[in-house]
Amino acid sequence: MKITAVIDIGSNSIRLMLAEVNGHEIRSISKRLVMTRMGQNLYGSMILHPDAIQRGAQAVSDFADDARDEGAQEILVFATSAVRSASNRQEFIKLVKKMTGIDVDVISGEQEAELGFIGAVNGNGGVLDIGGGSTEVICGKNGGIEYTKSFDIGTVRAHDIFGDTYRGGETCVIEWAQKPFSAAAQSKPILECEKWTGIGGTVTQMAVLDLKMPRYEPDAVQGHVMGIETVEEMLCTLWSISLEQREALIGMDPRRADIIPFGAAITLAFMRAVSAKCLFVSDRDNMEGYLIKHLK
């Protein structure tokens, strides 16, 4: 048995998972994150901001040090939407290599979707992964993937597009997200998908708010179910109160308070597009998927 670390570089946060690996079996020991906003002002310029590059590289370096201190014998690092979309991504990749000696694996949207599917569901159903810069949708059955697509829809991207005007703005965000989701929903695999599982920071934060948990508890989040009426009510609340009021909600991570209204709107847009009455929530996601894929 050995300990392996997986670092996920997203548009909004960078996350670290430590896992015990025994052959091809894995068990997550811990997860933690730091908000770096790699997607800061990216979606107009398609250039990683110099501050974001520094924040991100430092976060990866700190996590790598932490992982080694905690006994990790292998450290895997992958990056998603913000890094893969940026024309200057090599600046970030080279800085991480210089600071840590580790190569960053920049994965495609389709790979990101596949990893979420592998990590979150047991070979059957659909997965919705709302990130900062993109949203991945994948579904399959009997262990086989039948549909996968990455959409240029995300919480940080939406914040960049629509700004900080919240009151009444949810309708615009829903319309923006629902149009491409509805077009994709005509696919036969999606039409036949009976169960949708949400992964990532948006839906896990929404689950914590729904459960009114003062602190994040993975076991309680895993398998939590949110009906579409719950999502609609939460969206209404999040868009009708101030940033300070959102930050004060039980279970709210203040670092997500500015973008969570956009995440709730994207969630609702997807559920309406695919006629999903409820969304299951999974704490297991593409980090587990990346490690499982790496071990094959």
Instruction: Say which CATH number the domain at 68 has.
Output: 3.30.420.40
The stretch 228-240 carries a mean pLDDT of 96
Confidence grade of residue 7 (pLDDT, cut at 50, 70, 90): very high
Cβ atoms 286, 8 nearer than 8 A: yes
- Average confidence score pLDDT of the chain: 94
What's residue 124's pLDDT?
Answer: 87
Q: Say how many domains are in the chain.
A: 2
Last residue of a domain, one of 58, 81, 106: 106
Confirm whether 178 is domain-assigned.
yes
Last residue of a domain, one of 55, 79, 106: 106
User: 250-270, pLDDT tens digit by residue?
Assistant: 999 999 999 999 999 999 999
Confirm whether 113 is domain-assigned.
no
Residue 194 has pLDDT above 70, yes or no: yes
Residue 220 has pLDDT above 90, yes or no: yes
From residue 63, alpha-carbon distances to 57, 83, 132 in Å are 10, 18, 20
CA distance 186 to 230: 25
Q: Residues 100, 125: one domain?
A: no
Confirm whether 132 is domain-assigned.
yes
User: 64-83, pLDDT tens digit by residue?
Assistant: 999 999 999 999 999 999 99
DSSP string, 253-292: -GGGTTTHHHHHHHHHHHHHHTT-SEEEE-S--HHHHHHH
Q: Residues 160, 87: one domain?
A: no
Q: Residues 55, 149: one domain?
A: no
Q: Residues 60, 128: one domain?
A: no
CA distance 86 to 92: 10
Q: Residues 101, 129: one domain?
A: no
Confirm whether 160 is domain-assigned.
yes
Last residue of a domain, one of 76, 106, 136: 106
Q: Residues 81, 144: one domain?
A: no
Q: Residues 16, 41: one domain?
A: yes
Confirm whether 225 is domain-assigned.
yes
CA distance 212 to 214: 6
Cβ atoms 249, 282 nearer than 8 A: no
Structure tokens given for 279: 């969304």
Total residues belonging to the chain:
296
Q: Residues 147, 187: one domain?
A: yes
User: 117-133, pLDDT tens digit by residue?
Assistant: 999 997 789 999 999 99
We report the CATH number of the domain holding residue 208 as: 3.30.420.150
Confidence grade of residue 24 (pLDDT, cut at 50, 70, 90): confident
Q: Residues 280, 163: one domain?
A: yes
Q: Residues 171, 226: one domain?
A: yes
Q: Give the E-state strand segments of 152-293 in sequence order.
A: 196-199, 225-227, 278-281
Q: Residues 6, 81: one domain?
A: yes
Which domain covers residue 27, as residue numbers? 2-106
User: 131-159, pLDDT tens digit by residue?
Assistant: 999 999 999 998 899 999 999 999 999 99
Q: Residues 180, 266: one domain?
A: yes
Structure tokens given for 175: 């319309």
User: 25-66, pLDDT tens digit by residue?
Assistant: 999 999 999 999 999 888 788 999 999 999 999 999 999 999
Confirm whether 291 is domain-assigned.
no
Confidence grade of residue 168 (pLDDT, cut at 50, 70, 90): low
Residue 165 has pLDDT above 70, yes or no: no
Residue 227 has pLDDT above 60, yes or no: yes
pTM of the model: 0.89
CA distance 106 to 108: 7
Report which secondary-structure segment, H or E, holds 154: none
Confirm whether 293 is domain-assigned.
no
Confirm whether 116 is domain-assigned.
no
